[in-house]
Amino acid sequence: MSNPLLADQALPAFDKICPEHVEPAMKTVLEELEAQVSSIEAEAAPSWDSVMKPIEHISHRLHMTWSPVGHFMGVKNSDELRAVYEQVQGQMVTFSMRISQSKKLYDAYCAIRDGSEWSDLDEAQRRIIEINIRDAELSGIALEGDDKEQFNNNQIRLAELSTQFSNHVLDATKSFEMVLTEKDEVAGLPDSALALAAQHAREHGHDDASKENGPWRFTLDFPSFGPFMDYAERRDLRERVYRAFIVRASEGDLNNEPLIREILQLRKQQASLLGYADYAAVSLAAKMAPDVAAVRDLSDKLLDVCRSMADKELQDLKDFAKEKGATEADDLRHWDLNYWAQQLREERYAFNDEELRPYFSLPKVLDGLFALAHRLFGVSIEAADGEAPIWHEDVRYFKIKRENGEDCAAFYLDPYSRPADKRGGAWMNDCVGRGINTDGGTRLPVAHLVCNGTPPVDGKPSLMLFREVETLFHEFGHGLQHMLTTINHAEAAGINNVEWDAVELPSQFMENWCYDKASVDEFARHYETGESIPNELFEKVKAARTYRAASLCLRQLTFGAIDMFLHHDFDPNFDGDFWAEVNNATDAFNILEPLPENRFLCSFGHIFAGGYAAGYYSYKWAEVLSADAFAAFEEVGLDNEAEVKKVGRKYADTVLALGGSKPAAEVYRAFRGRDATVDALLRHNGLIAN
């Protein structure tokens, strides 16, 4: 029991876990749980208590041992951890299939569904059993002999490929650096970007680096890459960075192209073994969208609205660049778009992102975010640093209480970019899920909120870009659904069993409050003077919300189109020009034709190393829901505090509380009283008149 991964405690011992603990811990726990599964299978008269309860305890035990390992792969990656993760991952997949393909468990689920106990179960329990039956069928429960062996081998291989894909992207991202020494090379860059670049330089051997005199080290990590593409005046350097970005993980030992091809082949095989036409059909079997046609119908509706507007937005950039005397004005390339978009945005709305940073220090933003959660949902959030083990000194810990003062949840916040060992992007993961412990007590949920924001630099607090504020609100929205659930059955609590194309609803919903003045006034205060953000400046931020909205919408639609093409239309055994096929599939969405060498797919972790395969459309599908949900608050008046509170509590009691205990469409109707429409999304994005 000296192994921290086996410790019987409420939270993982993040401060003690090391790579050498993983293999012996997993060996011990898998042997223990295998015996428990066999005991459940031997149950002669299956019931909820004899089957479902012990299965839930097995899942929790496994999660508490394996989840910290996966978490460390994202936030504390190392060669040692990778080696042992890859060694053990196959055993984990095998055990998972052992449960999902157990004919005895499947028969037990069916017996409960068809037996006399069914009418006594609550709605969440019935849904859990129905989903277990569905998932068993999608996991190959009906397969036998060679087909079953092939299916299982494919699953193990797919897990290996996913891990390799993610590792390649992390390594390729951190392998690029551009160290600049001349001031003309960094012309146009704001002080914040120069300070971060100098700090990165100092961390990599340039001890005397300063924001004023350099040298400055730039990377493909977003807090470095984003500002460079937005502000750097040197077009040749923007091109260099952009070209490096679009070929990440596509060359040499880190080349993900062979992995992509194998992943697509294996997914197609899995679909065929299960009796489906393609992997998209497998994916959609567990989602809100009924079929590919429904997904493409939404995409086509948005494309019809956005296409001509996006073309005009590009022409606006060309006209502006020409007005400013840019030689490239008539032939803007990919590395020009962000730069000229930023220049036009600043002129059109008379502000830039750097003016906002002083008003968005992370401590103040957190204060405002927590105040908003209290205002809408009645919960109180308190810092609890030191009460839980952490994996890095920057990580913080918070507790959440309901209006009656009872503890209901907690979360870790890992806010800053660490390119050396932390993957890019932002995410929420469950650390602990709500459920019932073996002693009968309620187990409270704990979340991981992980961002890659701008770290503190030169003694100043983290001064956030506005889009980093939106990202924090987004991930907090995911966390709220995990943490404010009231369902005690673990498999239907929080985000569990919420259809994937609805799971972005709470996250995208929270982003809307970044444009509500009353909410922003709670946190947008100058980090030095305490002065509130000027009304004039905030109104400019609101006005700029719809800037280039059509182009941004097309970008998301492009990703969704590539994803659905690969998993529905594409023959993975195609031996022609793969990249030409990919580009042709998105031709209708492209504002600029992709460069011939573009290999963005090689770093598209969402569909090759995440959960979005044949599901990237979910962002837009859920954005329809989130915009329509926010419209419920607009309809009562955002300044009508009593009504906002009433709607907020209803949202908490449905969308946040019910989790996967009901189909997402029913949960939404319980909140809104009707199905969502696309109108609010189009209005919020300025794609139709208010």
- Catalytic residue numbers read 475
The rounded distance, in Å, linking the Cα atoms of 5 and 14 is 9
Q: What are phi and psi of 218, to 5 degrees?
A: -115, 145
Order of strands across the sheet with 427-432?
380-383, 396-401, 407-416, 446-453, 427-432
DSSP state of 5: G
Say which residues have a Cβ less than 8 Å from residue 157's Cβ, sequence separation at least 6. Answer: 262, 266
Q: What are phi and psi of 320, to 5 degrees?
A: -65, -45
Query: CA distances (Å), 641 to each of 229, 300, 470, 538, 636, in order?
Result: 41, 38, 23, 21, 9
Cβ atoms of 379 and 479 within 8 Å: the answer is no
Structure tokens at 339: 């730069």
Peptide bond into 363 cis (omega under 30): no
Cβ atoms of 376 and 652 within 8 Å: the answer is yes
The rounded distance, in Å, linking the Cα atoms of 109 and 141 is 13
Say which residues have a Cβ less than 8 Å from residue 247's Cβ, sequence separation at least 6. Answer: 597, 598, 599, 602
- First and final CA of the chain: distance in angstroms? 62
Q: What are phi and psi of 48, to 5 degrees?
A: -55, -50
Of the candidates 247, 165, 173, 176, the residue with the CA atom closest to the CA atom of residue 598: 247
Burial 562-575 (b: 16+ CB within 10 A, else e): bbbbbbbebebeee
- Residue 597 one-letter amino acid: E
Beta bridge partners of 525: 532
DSSP state of 463: B
The rounded distance, in Å, linking the Cα atoms of 66 and 59 is 10
Per DSSP, the residues of 187-239 read TT--HHHHHHHHHHHHHTT-TT-BTTTB-EEE-SSHHHHHHHHHH---HHHHH
DSSP state of 331: G
The rounded distance, in Å, linking the Cα atoms of 480 and 570 is 38
Q: What are phi and psi of 382, to 5 degrees?
A: -125, 140
The rounded distance, in Å, linking the Cα atoms of 28 and 31 is 5
Per DSSP, the residues of 224-283 read HHHHHHHH---HHHHHHHHHHHHTTT-SGGG--HHHHHHHHHHHHHHHHHTT-SSHHHHH
The rounded distance, in Å, linking the Cα atoms of 155 and 161 is 10
Per DSSP, the residues of 614-678 read TTTTHHHHHHHHHHHHHHHHHHH-TT-HHHHHHHHHHHIIIIITSTTSS-HHHHHHHHHSS---S
3-state helix, strand, coil in the chain (%, to 5): 60, 5, 30
